[in-house]
Copies of this chain bind each other. A is one copy, B any other.
Amino acid sequence: MIEVLKQHIVKRLGNDIQNLDFVLSKFKLVEAKRNQQLLMQGETCKYVYFVAKGCLQVYVHDSEMSETTRDIVTEDNWCSELISFGSGQPAMENIRAVEPSQLLAIDRKGFQEMMESVPQFDKVYRQILEASYANSVYRINTFVSLSALDRIKWLMEFRPTLMTRISSKLIASYLGIHKDVFSRLKAKL
């Protein structure tokens, strides 16, 4: 499993990194069961997860006690509640495994040590943060002005695998529409 992470890092920072194995040793393997809660709103987010296999959902509870999903994270991507992880403040969001997942988790201490031991890794946090930010901005700019139908078309274009992999209920909460509407519109495509 750690191999997946190794390749991810090499792909980003090149393969002339010293102490790479030392860095990798800071990650511990977490096997998450389907529907397992990894972070609850109000807790401090203790880990940054690298998703080696499986799928995670980042969500909040909205006013009607249903879920609004901000992100669905699949293989070869990072997942965390970065604001909480970085500051130690209570998390605003929840994270759960949608599928049985294999995660590589690093805690704050490990993160610090990683950054100290390999200067290049000083950029990793920033890279993750920037990527997350870009992702959020993109999501706001596209979704705010799109109709339900166009959101579905967007999903089919940019994240097509989710359509077959994930439940309609979850997709709907990610697209910000109701599951009935999703079902009906999807049939008309």
**A140 nearest CB neighbor, chain B only:** B70
Chain A residues numbered 106-162 whose CB sits less than 8 Å from any CB in chain B? 126, 129-130, 132-134, 136-141, 143-146, 150
The answer to whether A92 and B136 have CB atoms under 8 Å apart is no
**A178: shortest Cβ distance to chain B, in Å?**
10
Cβ contacts A45-88/B at 8 Å (1 or 0 each): 00000000000000010111010101000000000001100110
Instruction: List chain B residues, Cβ under 8 A from A144.
Output: 68, 70, 143, 176
Query: How many interface residues does chain A have, given as a range?
Result: 20 to 34
Closest B residue to A67 using CB positions: B145
Task: Report the separation of the CA atoms of residues A178 and B90 in the bound assembly, to the nearest whole angstrom.
Answer: 35
Copies in the complex: 2
User: Which chain B residues border A64 with CB–CB below 8 Å?
Assistant: 145
Residues in B with CB closer than 8 Å to A146 are 63
Asked whether, in the complex, the Cβ of A141 is within 8 Å of the Cβ of B70, the reply is: yes
Find out whether the CB atom of A83 lies under 8 angstroms from the CB atom of B134: yes
Given contacts A126-B126, A129-B126, A130-B129, contact A83 B145 (CB under 8 A): no
Check A141–B82 contact: CB distance below 8 A: no
Question: Cα distance A86–B134 when bound, in Å?
Answer: 12
Output the least CB separation between A2 and chain B (Å). 28
**Which residue of the partner chain, among B66, B70, B86, B138, contacts A137 with CB atoms under 8 Å?**
B70
Tell me the complex Cα distance, A114–B139, Å.
32
Chain A interface (Cβ within 8 Å of chain B)? 60, 62-64, 66, 68, 70, 82-83, 86-87, 92-93, 126, 129-130, 132-134, 136-141, 143-146, 150, 176
